[in-house]
Structure 1
Amino acid sequence: MIGAGPRGTSVLERLLANWAAAGPAGTLHIDVIDPYPAGPGHVWQPGQSRLYLMNTQSFYPTVIPEDPALAAPLAGHTFDQWRDLQQRHPDPSLTDEERAEVSGLGQADFPSRALYGRYLRSTLEELLTRIPAGVTVDFHPATATSVRHAAAAGADPAAADPVAAQDSAVRFDVVLDDGTVLTVDSVVLALGHLDARLNAEQRELLTAAEELGLLYLPPAAPADVDWSVVPAGEPVLVRGMGLNFFDVMGQLTEGRGGRFLAAEDNAELTYVPSGREPLIIAASRRGTPYRAKATLTGYYPGSVQLRYCTEDAIAKFAESGIRPSFDFDLWPLLHRDAIWAYYSTLARSQPGAVLTDPAEFLRALDESLRPHAHSTGKWENTMESVVAIHVRAAHRLDLLGLAAPLAGRSFGSRSELDAAVVDYLLDDARRSALGENDAVKMAIGALHHGRAVLKTAVADSGITDESWVAGLRGWFESFVEGLASGPPALRAAQLAALARAGVVRFVGPDPKFGVDRRARTFIAASPWVGFGTDESVDGGSGGVLGGAGGAGASSRTGSGAGGAGLGTASGGAGLGAAVAGDSAAGSVAASAMIEALAPANRVAANASPLLEQLLAEGLVRPRLMMSVEGTPVQTSGLDVVPHPYRPLGANGSVTEGIYVLGLQLSAAQWGTAIAAEARPASGPVYRSGQRTLRDADEIARDILGR
């Protein structure tokens, strides 16, 4: 077992459960390899800051399956069951911090990642007290550096085909970085989140930082970063406003002694700085963070039920022998569901937004959404005509626009932009608080439901390669993550408070990034943000903006290709200053830059000695898919065959005896980063919810049957 985080723990649990259920004679030995403590693994270390929150509520995650068709677990609970147990009968080994958090943690609250790590460790410890007869387990706090067929050990890997002539007696030598060599019958790759090599732009920024004495923090797991190196009172450019951004935000504000105070008359917050914060200059493609989660009693809104993008509807494609396209077959179904969720909620919660009788409107809308055989391609036009007749213009849904709230807008100054982002954040937090009574959040709720259905629909080549590349991963993934994978609503309210306190400012949509070597700063600019008269700065020279999109801010500055000639600020960058961090032509400057991104999840780019060896010697290969133009595209994951998932080698044959689980399956499954879902107390139970645990069970049963 290489990797001892949640997925490795799940395979271990399934091996023990299936061994006990079969009651075989003989022995089973399991070696578990991970440089981080088993159970929590790398991401969920119990000692990390409690400001790092999970993105799911207490009732959601589990490493223990609840499927009666699987071998019964020997021990363990869902996280919520464990939380309840600790509140009633606290484990004596819990620290004071863990006791304090768990005592006040509700079923619908967002736990810290540290507490989830404590759950994982407790689950593993309980499992190890129930090891069946004949089973032994050894843990190796080390890194696996290579896996080779034992018969080829010591031979030149290039001299023979290591994937050929495999049989049921195949064995592997697993080499660890402490010099240990383990000879085993099976290998499970449950590698989880890995470091990755920097892309070309990131390498250039790092090189420039080293040459100019700047601070550049590349993509990393937030708990691995020493945030104390970020200077107080100075501007820091933060790229990315997804989930990692809120981790950065928390460490540089609350983590430095700042406090949020709740207003007595509304849900808005006020931030009281400690004086040790930097000035955070936030940048992302949208110009805004992910939308916050709605306040719900369950993972999915109970008032939203899918009518079109259902598991039964998806199954009909397979029954008809059709391999669906995402854009033309699947998205129209989910699009209908999002529209119905929005307008049915609007008619219920804001009947004044409907110009006619709400019931009459919903009947007409229902009819327009039916996928009539003779007018399937025209349903959007029919639906829009119905909406135009029945709904006030200000309340009509622009679904794709929800993910780009600043699209189509330009701003005369950074202050104008900041005010617009604060308005967006406060509106989003207000909508989250309304929960199932907000039409926008329920449209997003339908997308959230639909994502669970789509995970099953698209798995194992369920859609065409072309639509996986151009549709699912090409546009939909980014779109739905920005809407349905956001932080707790508290984070939106906190960010608004920080912006109003002058601790956070924003760059604007479609930013370009670069380095001003003469001024020795990082710079960033948005083509949609001008430079108002309230933000005067001294000019400079030598600035070059680059990155995706080409010509930087030249459309605003009149400079040549790449934005050459952008100046830098000569004056103060203190907290709350109106021109803090501003550079000429509307750009911003900072001597520190943070990539608020996780390392790239691409097997060809992962900085893993083990993956590099397996790829180089042909035991595994990345998955290639064909684009619509017929061009092969290298995907992010390994090429595997189900079930269980085993990798294909360079020559196209299956590498028997090696199994893959988790993030490296991102070319066979979609949404591999999301944990297994505990069975909900009410509402639909989607097959994708415990898919990872069933995958672990398939691996365990195949290993025991070899």
Structure 2
Amino acid sequence: MDEQHIVFIGGGPRTAMILERISANREHFPGSPLRLHIVDPYPAGAGRIWRENQSPLLKLNSRASDVSMFTDESVQCLGPAVNGPPLDEWARLIREGALNDAPQQLASDPLLRAEVAALGPEDFPTRRLQSCYLRWFFDRVRASFAAPDQVEVHLDTAVDLISGPSAHQVHLASGQIIEADQVVLVQGHLDARIQSDARAAEFAAKAAKHQHLGYFPPGYTNDIDFQSLPAGADVLVSGMGLAFTDLFVLLFEGRGGRFEPASDGALRYIPSGAEPRLLAGSRRGVPYHSKISSIPRSDTSSTRFFTEEQLARLHERHGELDFFEHVWPLIAKEAAYFYYRELFSAPAARTGSFEDFADAYESVHWYSPERASLVARFFEPADRLEFEELDFPLPFPRPFGSKLARTHINRLVTSHIIQDLRLRDSPDHPQFQALFLGLLRCYTDLRFIHDKLSEQGRSQLASWWHGFFSFIDSGPPAHRLRELLALHDAGLIEFLGPETSFGFDEQAQQFTAQTLAGTVNAQWFIEARLPATRVASSADPLLAALHRRGLITEEPGGSGKLHINSLRQVIGPDGAVHRWLFAVGASVSGIQGGAFSRPKSNSAPFADSDALAREVLSAPARMSPWELAGSVGDAHRILG
């Protein structure tokens, strides 16, 4: 081919960011004209998750000032920085008439116009406005390519990928075939075949067999049609994370209810009469922690204990690393250091000086009596940080004893939420924002250690760590938790508590929840959680085809994620590296941050996108003789 054809499977924010980096780096990689193909059935730039066609009630769990698609001067990467406005600045420029390429859809959408008119830096924007911002960014990036380079969008679905003698062929659902020199898999979050989840498959079969039952399997809440859920129905709900937040927004305010300020400063819910009644439980029994409104006084720009050098020394000493034994104690020590340093910056008096504390803290292991004694010497019990207490915040003894009353469980959960709001939605407790930033910085730096972890360590990273980090750092805005309390006060949400397990009562022919207060049955059941991300069970037609033919495989360790190397090239089950096939996003191995992040924070996704863009631009437009021989062999096997 006279042109270099690069095909992106998926057109969401990460693809837009990579395209921006290709454009920014283009002058340093002259060569054949680029033909960049974007394949996605949803609008390019926004993709499925951030598409405009969703409820205006749904919001980001990030503030407008914390969302940017632009690689600014803080990003440590080889390519040139291209500054641009984060979401709040973008809205301000539109209000002031200073954006000469303002999105056309604002003219025809009064809700979006009203939101732009009122949006401030600390506000949580709607996902529809974020969609508008993302599509504007994509259009700007697309316009930045100069002829003969061009970007072509295919509103279609990739269903297969065949390696040919001279190029690769991407097959689309419409029957179109795109010739490609390189292919980049950027599908983002994946759906799973229901048969791959034993519980979901069993419950779906029960609901299909009995007309009086209703079951909603794991999925993306905004994509699920809840119209069949009747008003007044008791509904068991498994999960209290972000999917649960979306769920109660759509089932209550989305069905015509509204919130009003109460005399005590809380909220009061005014029902429409169309609401169901939710009975929600989970492993922890509480919702994710609220977003934090305080501002740290101390420096949060660098790490002291969880550093690339320290991780390299650990690997040199131990070889393959176990996450819990080797890595987590360093993360805990680092994040706690952020937290305690901030407490010393607060006006309240502390015992001793920060310098004395820091000198002693330097040498103690996180899980040691010396660390506990040191903290006890400097801080009152209420200020001491134990991550196990954060992970299981309700004060239930373990092992559990006799059954508790449902009213007692609900009282404990509501007290926890009220205390969480008191500490996090206040300017008076910046130590929690420091903790948030410490964990976030460690999360970003975990990319340095992923290839040094044992298989067990990777599994621990993909399971426990991701869940714990999300619980602490990826919670909803504070007003969502106030709404949750109002719904509880209205009798429309009951909390089932921690260690809730779900099943099916064959005798009663109902779904069941085993709680610390006994058994609760209901005819309706909602799994408020995302499907497990596993390549082998993905419902994505392209990944299913590639896995079936043995072109791709899951990484060792049981995470279920697509196996790639440090250059983001896909590794096959035989260990062969496909130098023309790249992958990035939530479904691939390693630490993958979101597609957008805080401006001026050297956010990892920006640097990763820059590195991938440069790798794709420098990749040969033709296969090497070894790759050519391999692709011919693949073609022969496919043809039989």
Q: Give the distance between the partners of 2:226 and 2:129, measured in 1 at CA.
A: 21
Shift of 1:392: 3.9
Alpha-carbon distance change, 700 to 307 in structure 1, aligned in 2, over 3 angstroms: closer
Aligned counterpart, 2:566: 642
Instruction: Say whether the 8 Å CA contact 2:290–2:425 is kept in structure 1.
Output: no
**CA displacement, residues 526-564 of structure 1 (integer Å, 9 cap, x when unaligned):** 1x22xxxxxxxxxxxxxxxxxxxxxxxxxxxxxxxxxxx
Residue 512 of structure 1 pairs with residue 501 of structure 2: yes
Give the TM-score of the pair, scaled to structure 2.
0.86
> What SS is found at the alignment partner of 2:63?
coil
Alpha-carbon shift at residue 249 of structure 1 (Å): 0.8
Could you say which residue in structure 2 is the equivalent of 1:417?
Answer: 409
What residue in structure 2 maps to residue 13 of structure 1? 20
- 1:676 is matched with which residue? 596
Instruction: Give the corresponding residue for 1:538.
Output: none
Residue in structure 2 matching 1:521, options 498, 510, 517: 510
Which residue is equivalent to 1:253?
Answer: 252
* Structure 1 Cα separation of the partners of residues 599 and 620 of structure 2: 27
Q: Matches of 2:56 and 2:522 in 1, distance apart?
A: 28
Counterpart of 2:191 in 1: which secondary structure?
coil
Is 1:457 the equivalent of 2:448? yes
Which residue of the other structure, out of 173, 176, 179, is the alignment partner of 2:175? 179
The 8 Å contact of residues 77 and 607 in structure 2, kept in 1 or not, is answered as no
Q: 1:84 aligns with which of 92, 115, 118?
A: 92
Write the distance in 2 (CA, Å) between the matches of 1:350 and 1:209: 58
**Residue 271 of structure 1 aligns to which amino acid in structure 2?**
Y
What is the count of residue pairs matched by the alignment? Answer: 599
| Contact map agreement 2:22 2:614 (CA 8 A) in 1 | no
Name the aligned partner's letter for residue 394 of structure 2. L
Change (3 A) 1:48 1:696: farther
Q: Is the 8 A contact 2:103 2:132 kept in 1?
A: no
Deviation per CA, 1:320-368: give whole Å up to 9, x if none. 68755433443223322343444444555584xxxxx724164553343
Amino acid aligned to 2:599? R
Question: Which whole-Å CA distance do the structure 1 matches of 2:491 and 2:231 have between them?
Answer: 14
C-alpha separation between the residues in 1 aligned to 2:222 and 2:352? 54
Residue of structure 1 equivalent to 2:613 = 697
**1:64 counterpart = 2:64:** no
Work out whether residues 462 and 559 of structure 2, in 8 Å CA contact, stay in contact via their aligned partners in 1.
no
Quick one: which amino acid aligns to residue 513 of structure 2? A
Q: Kindly provide the amino acid, as one letter, of the partner of residue 586 in structure 2.
A: L
The answer to whether the 8 Å contact 2:10/2:40 transfers is yes
Identify the residue that residue 632 of structure 2 maps to in structure 1.
none
Q: Counterparts in 2 of 1:488-637, with a 5 A limit? A: 488-526=477-515, 528-529=516-517, 586-625=518-557, 634-637=558-561
1:93 alignment partner, one of 100, 105, 112: 105
Aligned to 1:533: none
Aligned residue number for residue 5 of structure 2 = none
User: Paired residue for 1:404, among 392, 414, 423?
Assistant: 392
Letter aligned with residue 466 of structure 1: Q
C-alpha spacing 1:484/1:646, structure 2 compared with 1 (3 Å): same
Specify whether residues 91 and 32 from structure 1 end up closer, same or farther in structure 2 by C-alpha distance, changes over 3 A only: closer
Alpha-carbon distance between aligned partners in 1 of 2:367 and 2:584, rounded to the nearest angstrom: 40
1:629-652 Cα deviation digits (max 9, x unpaired): xxxxx3321221222x11112322
Alpha-carbon distance change, 389 to 449 in structure 1, aligned in 2, over 3 angstroms: same
Amino acid of the structure 2 residue aligned with 1:179: G
Counterpart AA for 2:617: R
Cα distance 1:235–1:197, how it changes in 2: closer, same or farther (>3 A)?
same
Give 1:99 shift: 1.1
Encode CA deviations 1:9-47: one digit per residue, 9 max, x unaligned: 2233333333355454x4322222111111111100112
Any conservation in 2 of the 1:52–1:247 contact (CA below 8 Å)?
A: yes
Task: Show CA shifts across 1:39-82 (max 9, x none).
Answer: 11110011211222112222233333224855457896443442
Structure 1 residues 183 and 488: CA distance shift in structure 2, 3 A = same
Structure-2 separation of matches of 1:513 and 1:610:
33
Answer with 132-141 or 302-311: which moved more.
Answer: 302-311
Contact 1:261 1:271 in 2 (8 A): yes
Deviation at 1:302, TM superposition (A): 5.5
Spell out, residue by residue over 1:601-635, the C-alpha distance to the aligned partner (whole angstroms, 9 max, x if none).
Answer: 1111111221111112122111113xxxxxxxx33
Q: Secondary structure at the match of 1:426?
A: helix
- Kept after mapping to 2: 8 A contact 1:238/1:595: yes
2:610 partner amino acid: R
- Aligned equivalents of 2:22 and 2:383: distance in 1? 54
CA contact (8 A) 1:13 1:73 kept: no
CA displacement at 1:377 relative to structure 2? 5.0
Which stretch of the first structure deviates more once superposed, 227-236 or 301-310? 301-310
* Alpha-carbon spacing, 1:186–1:344, altered in 2? closer, same or farther (3 Å): closer
Distance 2:332 2:395 in 1: 20
Please state how far the C-alpha of 1:176 moved relative to its aligned partner: 0.9
Q: 2-side partners of 1:474 and 1:137: how far apart? A: 38
Q: Distance in 2 between matches of 1:282 and 1:79?
A: 34
SS in 1 for 2:66: coil
Q: What amino acid maps onto 1:620 in structure 2?
A: I
Question: Which of 43, 50, 53 is matched with 1:44 structurally?
Answer: 50
The worse-fitting range, judged by mean Cα deviation, of 76-85 and 508-517 is 76-85
Q: Give CA deviations for 1:129-164 in whole Å, capped at 9, x if unaligned.
A: 33311123322211111001123xxxxxxxxxxxxx
User: Identity across aligned pairs (percent)?
Assistant: 30
Contact residue 263 and residue 270 of structure 1 kept, 8 A = yes
Determine if the alignment matches structure 1 residue 428 to structure 2 residue 420. yes
Secondary structure of the residue that 1:271 maps to in structure 2? strand
> Is residue 34–residue 140 contact of structure 1 (8 Å, CA) maintained in 2?
yes
For the residues of structure 2 that align with 1:501 and 1:88, how far apart are their CA atoms?
43
CA contact 1:308–1:334 (8 Å) conserved in 2: no
Question: Which residue number in structure 1 is paired with residue 143 of structure 2?
Answer: 129
1:658 and 2:615 matched: no
* 2:86 paired with 1:103: no
Contact 1:514 1:523 survives alignment (8 Å): yes
Give the superposed CA RMSD: 2.8
CA distance in structure 1 between the partners assigned to 2:553 and 2:546 by the alignment: 8
In structure 2, distance between residues paired with 1:205 and 1:242 = 21
Work out whether residues 150 and 171 of structure 1, in 8 Å CA contact, stay in contact via their aligned partners in 2: yes
The higher relative CO (CA closer than 8 Å, separation ≥ 6) is in: 2
Helix, strand or coil for the counterpart of 2:596? Answer: coil
> Which of 327, 330, 354 is equivalent to 1:333?
330
Q: Choose the corresponding residue for 1:142, options 143, 156, 163.
A: 156
- C-alpha distance after superposition, 1:264-293 (max 9, x if no partner): 554x22222222111011111111111112
Task: Please state whether the residue corresponding to 2:494 is helix, strand or coil.
Answer: strand
SS of equivalent residue, structure 1 residue 635: coil
